[in-house]
Structure 1
Amino acid sequence: MCTESALPGAPRVRQRGLSLIELIIFMVIVSVGVVGLVSVIASLTRGSADPMVRKQMMAIAESVLREAADQPFTYCDPADVNAATASSTAQCTGGAAASQDKGGGALSTPSPTNETRYNAPQFNNVADYGGFSKLNIDDITGNFAMAGYTASVAVARAGGDFGLADAGAALRVTVTVSHAGQDDYSLSTYRFRYAPRAF
């Protein structure tokens, strides 16, 4: 509030202070700035755990991929009586259709079909992992479940990728891990049948 002197010879005093309109505009500008700053900080804070989740996805994918790739890649199932002597998939018990190559069929189930990752009889060949998928993935003993993480394994013949006459002489193993709110993470490796009777 400002007052002016009514005396004719008194010096004029300049008005000082802010008007109500100027004060409201200032408050609006400061409020918009604070809201913008808080929203940026909130999004950074909300995303701060994402690197840990992504790193966990990478570790799970690497672990399952290594587990699958470390299995024997033989003509026959290692439990087959002919596994140590077979020189082709046709010499497996039950012929090529019962071999680890499934006679050229899809590699989406273990052979024999009663094998699992967790219970006896367990997966014992690279191709057995084809089609495996597990929500809340855990280790091979069934312990240490990772809540919210899903791992799935795809196995495909890849001999043609390397110009090999036998497409089944190499396999491409791909492990995909997913978690809510994240992009899927995939790792792939190739496994060659360099020792078809070693298990």
Structure 2
Amino acid sequence: MQDHAAFTSPPRNQTGLTLIELLMFIMVIGLALAGVLQVFALATKSSADPQAQRQALAIAESLLQEVQLQPFTFCDPDDANISTATSATVGAGSTNCTTASESAMGPEAGEARTVAPQFDNVNDYHGFSMTGIVDITGTAVSGLDSYSASVTVAPAALGTVAAGDALRITVQVNGPNGTAVTLQGYRTRHAPNAS
């Protein structure tokens, strides 16, 4: 009779995971993943909506550029002496404005941003505001009805330029989820004949 031990192979070391080890691994990974996801959720909830922020910035930049492109002269842009006036004085003579000066902040009677007669000077935008963004023709821009914008214009000293010859333009835009953007820019007076 042969020995039974001669026909069996020697025991080998087993490799792999037991069911308990596999379950423990899944549980540890699950807990770690849950913690990471909570951090992402908290960061997302507490941060501003980047799309709303970018949109508010684009609105503010556009409105600031619109204001800065307007004339800033001593006389109303419709005045015959606009290019020869040397001060905002109204009266006879080519160095004075013939009808009205542009020294007052805010639009002249009847002027508006979107209908004739339209704003024609930087000063006209002082105090302007809109809820729901509209373009220069008065057409509502789709998707921007939850935004509002306002403009203030004030005299400011700018380097060697006197406060009366420079204006600081402040544009404030508010949007959804508390989004707020404020931009400032400057406009200097174009008065080729001023001394």
Return the TM-score normalized by structure 1: 0.67
Distance apart, 1:184 and its partner CA: 2.1
Residue in 2 that maps onto 1:12: none
Q: Deviations over 1:21-56 (max 9, x none)?
A: xxxxxxxxxxx9898666544444556771111001
RMSD: 2.9
Paired residue for 1:101? 103
How many residue pairs match? The answer is 159
* Structure 2 partner of 1:157: 155
Q: Work out the CA distance in 1 between the residues paired with 2:98 and 2:173.
A: 35
Could you say which residue in structure 2 is the equivalent of 1:117? 113
1:142 maps to: 138
1:106-150, CA deviations, whole angstroms, 9 ceiling, x for partnerless residues? x2x21x221111000011111111110001112111221511111
Structure 1 gaps of 5+ residues are 1-31
SS at match of 1:153: strand
CA contact (8 A) 1:73 1:193 kept: yes
Q: Displacement, 1:174?
A: 0.9
Gaps of 5+ in 2: 1-30, 90-95
Contact 1:68 1:129 in 2 (8 A): yes
Q: Distance in 1 between matches of 2:41 and 2:67?
A: 41
Structure 2 vs 1, CA of residues 62 and 83 (structure 1 numbering), >3 Å: closer, same or farther? same
Structure 2: how far apart are the matches of 1:196 and 1:57?
Answer: 36
> What secondary structure sits across from 1:85 in the alignment?
coil
TM-score of the superposed pair, with normalisation by structure 2: 0.69
The answer for the alignment partner of 2:172 in structure 1 is 176
